[in-house]
Structure 1
Amino acid sequence: MSRYLFYISQNYSFAILRPLQKAILARGGEAAWFVEGDNVNHEFFNKDEVLLPSIDAVKEYNPRAVFVPGNVVPSFVPGLKVGVFHGFNSGKRNRKGKEDHFNIRGSFDLYCTQGPNTTETFNILAEKAGYFDVKETGWPAIDPLYEPLLVKKEIERPTILFCSTFSRNLTSAPHLFEEIKRLSITGKYRWLVQFHPKMPKEIIEQYKAIESEHLSFVETDNVIPLLQEADLMVCDTSSVLLMFLLLNKPVVTFNNISPKEYLINISEPELLESSIELGLTKPKELMTNIESFIEQTHPYQDGGSSERVLDAVDEILSRPQKSVKKPLNLLRQFKMRKKLGYWKL
């Protein structure tokens, strides 16, 4: 029986990997989880999910592949190392000024890309590095996006979903607070507010304090039902806005770092209401631009990305190993061993 491991460090990993888990179990395989660090809420695990308590247990489990919705994974974890990403490429740049989505850290044997506009760059990087493969599969987290809406949608008034990144330089949450508070009081819209898990607590408490019959603050490990339910999203530079666009619905952004033609971007909070009203009319040019974005970013709308990821793993494992080895990354591996308290070979 084929065994697979999910290596996670954040709560958002559940929504990304559970579609993969479903596909694995449907194929008669086994899936287990390992948690790195203290940022994962263990209450989010289902009773029937297998959680391995240590690296020793991981080694005994001996998975054929390990799926990581993050940036790194220890080399001493067994199995093919598969990067499945924690979000779409939202244009964020690292300290060196490079797009963080394409930062190769020497951890993975296989990158499962989401669509043409990321596959092309990763193919160039793979040819240069020589030690990893790239397969365009679509993103497993998106599979449930195309399932029927489970929540009964309110039809009397539009539902607005406000999501924001935690980065101090990029977040819209403190800048839009007063305007969202004002709009929520009117009752014109139904507001759902959901933030990145790393959002500062003081901002979270600020929004919780204005909860009412018109505004709900939602804490969840699965944002997909919120995306399905909303008619329009208000956001900034969080990659979750890209998921929302895949549903062919409009997004209003505040100070997006790279505003594209498929977004309604504003720089003044006072423009929020009029921009929401514009977006809800679904202007023809805007919707045409959104459709073009979908074709380049994630053209797979069949809910079968998890199956394609597993097929990619099978294909790579059926080949001879690459002659070029991954970089040793001694300093990074030392830091991971120290963090995990694991010093065995």
Structure 2
Amino acid sequence: MMADYLLFASERYALPILQPVAQALQAQGHGVHAWFVDGAAGAALPSPVRMIGLREAVALKPRAVFSAANWVPTFVSGAKVQLFHGFNVEKRSDQRGHFRVRGLFDLYCTQGPATTAPFQALAAQAGHFAVVETGWPKLDPLFRDDQGAAATMRAPAGGRPVVMFASTFTERLSAAPDLFDAIAAQVARGDRYWLLTLHPKCPPELFERYRALAGPNAVFFETEQLVTAQRAADVLLADTTSVVSEFVVQRKPVVTFRNRAPKAHMIDFDDPACLPAMLDRAFAPDAALRAALDAYADAIHPYRDGHSSERVIAATDALLAGELGRLKRKPLSSLLRGLQIRRELGYWGPGA
């Protein structure tokens, strides 16, 4: 039966998370609508996704709302489904970070065993949401034919090895300011081709510096091309950004600068002068590093079929059919948060 679904985002980095879900819904004959606010306002998903506003979202009465933010408007109808905007990279404590439960969602679609087990424990305690391990929609394109987009992005390398650089916007964790000179020197050498990007929230002056490196040995790309770049690159250079985990799912080596929680699958370093040696090691990974990459990838995202979006839809259907058990009422804190959301969005009309 055809139904209407709503995709919700508050930042541009949610677009590549929601697009595979939109495609899967459209393939099943459903109506797909998107409502973007705050940092995502003005962005759009490709047609036939219909971009709508606040009042249209309320009037739509969608069957479900898929959110790639850490919140969702509670006054819109439908099951509220959390898709996550990144992996757990331990930027913050569990109480403030990835495993914080705000009482807004009915279903958490987790990425892999490392995420599923903690959320199942939280669900057992709270009782007002369900948990299903589906894999992460954003990574579906990593394991599907992208119609040559990755090859096109890689083509200017002319056969050279390809390094991708990505950085978090969190100032105390960002490698972008400290590694700029070292990266610029590597780009100037020209023996490797560089794919450069920054988190959309990074300072404009930092964007200007990195964009200026573009030329015969490097290109700067936007957030919407992130998955294509991950497919195109051989090695990632980053910090504590969740892009590290996304890249590792491909079993490709990662070099990290002052990662907040370095692990065996990372080549972590703290001196910019060491960058050339770290890259050399990444391009010639030993057996121990390869084993660590495999183990971590299996823990965070074992799905390699490119169909996590379909599993998200199936889990939502199961929730709505009552197959995931009876949920308790949301806590009082969710009501208070719902009122805050109404105030922030300036909406006091009728809702769900």
Give the structure 2 partner of residue 128 of structure 1. 125
SS in 1 for 2:273: helix
Give the structure 2 partner of residue 327 of structure 1. 331
Partners of 1:297 and 1:155 in 2: CA distance: 33
Give the structure 2 partner of residue 5 of structure 1. 6
The structure 2 residue matched to 1:295, chosen from 298, 323, 328, is: 298
Partners of 1:242 and 1:25 in 2: CA distance: 28
TM-score relative to the length of structure 2? 0.93
Partners of 1:171 and 1:27 in 2: CA distance: 41
Partners of 2:232 and 2:327 in 1: CA distance: 48
Partners of 1:139 and 1:189 in 2: CA distance: 31
Partners of 2:172 and 2:41 in 1: CA distance: 27
Give the structure 2 partner of residue 138 of structure 1. 135
What aligned pairs does 1:144-223 form with structure 2 within 5 A after superposition? 144-148=141-145, 150=148, 151-152=150-151, 153=154, 154=157, 156-223=159-226
| Percent identity (aligned) | 38
Is 2:114 aligned against 1:113?
Answer: no
Corresponding letter in the other structure for 1:21:
A
What aligned pairs does 1:58-137 form with structure 2 within 5 A after superposition? 58-93=57-92, 98=95, 100-137=97-134
Deviation per residue, 1:272-306 (Å, 9 max, x gap):
11110110012111011100111111101011111
Is 2:248 aligned against 1:245?
Answer: yes
How far apart are 1:344 and its partner, in Å?
Answer: 1.5
SS in 2 for 1:101: coil
Relative distance call for 1:32 and 1:84 in structure 2 (3 A) is same
Deviation per residue, 1:158-200 (Å, 9 max, x gap):
1110000000110000010110111111111111111111111
Corresponding letter in the other structure for 2:349:
K
Structure 2: runs of 5 or more not aligned: none
Give the structure 1 partner of residue 50 of structure 2. 50
Give the structure 2 partner of residue 34 of structure 1. 35
How far apart are 1:112 and its partner, in Å?
Answer: 0.3
Deviation per residue, 1:106-137 (Å, 9 max, x gap):
11000000100110000000001110000001
Give the structure 1 partner of residue 19 of structure 2. 18
Give the structure 2 partner of residue 275 of structure 1. 278
Which runs of structure 1 show a deviation greater than 4 angstroms over 4 or more consecutive aligned residues? none
Relative distance call for 1:167 and 1:15 in structure 2 (3 A) is same
Give the structure 1 partner of residue 313 of structure 2. 310
How many residue pairs get matched?
341
Partners of 2:23 and 2:48 in 1: CA distance: 12
Partners of 1:40 and 1:24 in 2: CA distance: 21
Is 2:343 aligned against 1:338?
Answer: yes
Contact 1:82 1:111 in 2 (8 A): yes
RMSD in angstroms over aligned alpha carbons? 1.6
